[in-house]
Amino acid sequence: MPNPSRLRAAALTATAVLLSSVLAGCGDGGKDDDEDLTAQKLSWEDCPAPSAAEGGGAAPSPLPNGGEWQCATMKAPLDWGDPKGDTIDLALIRAKASGDESKRIGSLIFNFGGPGGSGVTTLPAFGQDYAALRTRYDLVSFDPRGVGRSAPVECESDQQLDAYFQQDATPDDSAERTKLLDNTRRFNAACEKNSQRILPHVRTTDAARDLDLMREVLGDDKLYYFGISYGTELGGVYAHLFPKHVGRAVFDAVVDPTQNPEQGSLGQAKGFQLALDNFAEDCTSKEELCPVGDSPQDVKDRIAQLLKDLDRKPIQGIFPRQLTQTAATNGIAQALYSKEFWQYLTEGLQEAYDGDGRILMSLSDSMNGRNDNGEYSNIAAANVSINCADDKPRYSADYVERKLPEFRAASPLFGDFLAWGMVSCTDWAVPGAADHPDVSAPGSAPILVVGNTGDPATPYEGARRMVEALGKGVGVELTYKGQGHGSYDSKNKCVQGAVNGYLLNGKVPAAGTVCT
């Protein structure tokens, strides 16, 4: 089943949307041998309400300082190996630049991560955070292929997903292990049955080629790009394929491009454990009493006991579902994506200790893309599909069991959860492309790489490795000593000043700059 290591930045997006409101949206094309896709003209119109695959909700509201959100579709080849063959429609959204047209630089394209997150719904949800960048750029995002309105991958029904996400994702015996593997095979078979046309074509290299087509269609000579979490991997792959097309680019919450899936999952076990340690320390260091423990260790011991109790006997969640050990672990991980959500974790734990699992289940639902109406976005389906198409390794259950001690040492709370997540691609229909992405980009313009020392989902060490992998003279590292997944959205003035200075004025900060 999906887990924190695989969902990356999409989880943060989903929680923010859950705690405020879901916004915005924008098909599948045929074949036209005579069509030059680089010459296509986009028809920008008012955005409709998001589709079910995008998460549902209302159409995006106008920007606070004026300006409307507009949506369009762009045709791209289904198979980039046959660029004159069948096409698919990719959903785009934009807010036009608010400043003087003579000072407009171009379109700044965002990818918020996942993989599997809908940029068409996420950009409006966070649009005001990028108001400074909008003074010189059209803000643009999109649903990558396989996501939302862009030829979405479809797997199981909403009812089937409810059962799938209630399963025990950390089996304790052979019967539980067999059930987990059977459920994973069933989910993967449903993806193949319902989406076999698109599954071979959702690799990150495909999305990177879509980005370059988007750049041309939007009228830019260079790609101006802001990638967050998995969006940094997509940006790195783009820079490798098209180094001479890179304009000003920022990578925030950086995926380590040197790691295979196992190494990434183990690193994130350490990352989420660090975030939990920081949460426990923060709660118990305040003047007022911490309601979920008397000391940092007590906080973690009580959480561990709660999960152990839920493994034996779930409690009431959001009726009619119960809060299981898996859902609670998922919800705790979700809250660790941002320090702003720690208050919800405290409240959720308090209520769970009293037998009420609704808050933790709401957090888990947001991780899984489930709305209040019981409908799921396709984030889980797209996430698995893109990861399994990208990642070559396939891990057996026996292999995972041999690795459990190492994962438990990295995180007593999240180790099993993240280790068993490695079986999600074992029976996947499409072979994976590589052990890890190639992001070497000699000849590229500078790319600002921002790492957060307290990031649970993309641990800080990944930023340095991305800089090294991009190559000499390309990656420029900036460190933020903070908490949560990502740095720019922390609203730290130092981070935002450096990012804005580069994107707006071309001023590259000194390598090794540290923001606190």
Per DSSP bridges, beta strands 246-252 and 223-228 are: parallel
Reference 349, options 323, 386, 381, 322; nearest CA is 323
Considering 107, 229, 362, 385, which one is annotated as catalytic? Answer: 229
Find out whether 301 and 42 touch, Cβ atoms under 8 Å: no
Terminal Cα-to-Cα distance of the chain (whole angstroms)? 36
| Amino acid of residue 70 | Q
Helix/strand/coil for 465: helix
User: Does the annotation count 150 as an active-site position?
Assistant: no
Reference 26, options 142, 146, 145, 152; nearest CA is 142
Residues 386, 383: Cα–Cα separation, whole Å:
5
Reference 93, options 68, 75, 129, 117; nearest CA is 68
Per DSSP bridges, beta strands 87-95 and 70-77 are: antiparallel
User: Does the annotation count 436 as an active-site position?
Assistant: no
Considering 143, 206, 390, 455, which one is annotated as catalytic? Answer: 455
Structure tokens at 225: 């790009």
Residues 116, 369: Cα–Cα separation, whole Å:
10
Considering 416, 485, 487, 490, which one is annotated as catalytic? Answer: 485
Find out whether 251 and 488 touch, Cβ atoms under 8 Å: no
User: Does the annotation count 485 as an active-site position?
Assistant: yes
Q: How far is CA 439 from the centre of its chain?
A: 19
DSSP 256: -
Helix/strand/coil for 81: coil
Q: Which helix (H) or strand (E) holds 476?
A: strand 475-483
Find out whether 337 and 12 touch, Cβ atoms under 8 Å: yes
Reference 428, options 200, 158, 263, 201; nearest CA is 200
Structure tokens at 210: 């879509």
Positions marked active-site: 229, 455, 485
